[in-house]
Amino acid sequence: MILDEIDDYLARFVAFPSEPARHAVCLWIAHTHLIDCFESTPRLVLSSAEKQSGKTRCLEIISLLVPTGRHTASISPAALFRLIEEGPTPTILFDEFDTVFGDKSKDGSEDMRSLINSGHRRGALTYRCQMPSMKVKAFPVFAPIALAGIGYLPDTITDRSVLIQMRRRSPAEIVESFRIRIHEPIGLGLQERLADWAEENTKVLDGYIPNNPLEDRPADVWEPLLAIGEIAGQPWAARSFTAAQTLSNPQNTAESLGVELLRNIRTVWPAQQTSLTVSALITILCEVEEMRWAEHHGRGLNPRSLSQILKKFEVQSRRTAEANVYDYSSLRDAWVRYLGVDPPSLQPPQPPQPPQMELMDEMDLLRKEGQA
């Protein structure tokens, strides 16, 4: 079975974090040969916390196995949509995405994000004004894209992606050294055979609806891979099902920056504290080495960036006579909605009440007045 051989070829040179992750990459490669059968193409994201985690090597191997692979570490939005327009539909392998979407990225990341997001659906177009005629031209942007890099991508991209969290290889994980002269011809031979297999199964897959354990957007993302797994038969039907359930689990999905901040605030929030000043909250967050906030955007978290992130979750600071503060009650609502937790309600401390005097009976009062 050609999928088994491609799976073995990947395992020779890349230490994947799990078997389901490797199976997902194998199925994603197969779907690039069958792109005309599907209404959408999931993005493949290979991310890691540090370099030397096998991401670039994985893209190099993938480039040998996909049709019209275009491996690049630098491409402009204009070059991307013109490359897709030229045809045949290329498979874009975008290395070092952190140079575009990271903290030190330059202008243009919004245009690139828009192209990557819209291009996952068949029929997606981008419009540009042609010079010197000033006529508007529509460019198709539907194409499979794999991205590799360090850190986080915008959640609008990861929401449309199969996410593989790569990690540095341990001494016990042994892979072969990739030699172009020796191993590239093997990969290209596998690509040709995979293309033949795809052509044989095109009619079967066209419009095929697989059994899908997921819902909403994850179901759309995984549908092409699940369909290929079912058509390939066992064990790939079971492997695709397991990969979808495992890799789409929220615990395995990189959080958005805002959700990460909410989770971290809940972690450091002092017990029984009903409010914290903005400066105190930032200080506590930045003191925890395991959290990113001391290095946020290279300068550390500040009141402005804290406000901008939390405002998206309808959490705003409150001005007092001494300083701006964040209330536990407003954060609690965001924790319930976005973290799925229900922390206990805290009541603000009540000012001490003066002792209440016992009411005297009217007769006792009259008696005392008579004695006086």
What is the pLDDT of the chain when averaged over all its residues? 83
Q: What percent of the chain has pLDDT over 70?
A: 87
Q: Which CATH number fits domain 2-252: 3.20.20.70, 3.40.50.300, 3.30.70.360, 3.40.50.460?
A: 3.40.50.300
pLDDT band at 43 (very low <50, low <70, confident <90, very high): very high
pLDDT over 50 (residue 348): no
Confidence of residue 358 (pLDDT cuts 50, 70, 90): very low
Q: How confident is the model at residue 239 (pLDDT cuts 50, 70, 90)?
A: very high
Condensed to tens digits (0 to 9), the pLDDT of residues 164-202 reads 988 888 788 888 899 999 999 999 999 999 999 999 999
Alpha-carbon span 301 to 17, nearest angstrom: 32
At residue 361, what is the residue type? D
Q: What is the pLDDT of residues 246-298, one digit of tens each?
A: 888 655 444 567 888 888 999 899 888 888 999 999 999 998 887 888 887 76
Sign, Cα dihedral of 168, 170, 175, 179? positive
- Determine how β-strand 135-140 pairs with β-strand 91-94: unpaired
What DSSP state is assigned to residue 266? H
CATH 1.10.10 domain span(s) along the chain? 257-339
The distance in angstroms from the start CA to the end CA of the chain is: 111
> E strand or H helix at 140, and its extent?
strand 135-140
* 361 has pLDDT over 70: no
* CATH 1.10.10 is the classification of domain 257-339: yes
User: For residue 319, which phi and psi values (nearest 5 degrees)?
Assistant: -85, 130
Chain segment 293-342, per-residue pLDDT in tens:
888 776 788 998 899 889 888 899 989 888 899 998 888 888 888 777 76
In the sheet that holds 91-94, the strands lie side by side as 69-72, 91-94, 145-150, 43-48, 161-165
C-alpha to C-alpha distance for 371 and 274, rounded to whole angstroms: 53
Q: What kind and span of H or E run contains 122?
A: none
Q: How far apart are CA 10 and CA 5, in angstroms?
A: 9
Write out the residue limits of the CATH 3.40.50.300 domain(s) in the chain.
2-252
Q: Categorize the per-residue pLDDT at 130 as very low, low, confident or very high, splitting at 50, 70 and 90.
A: confident
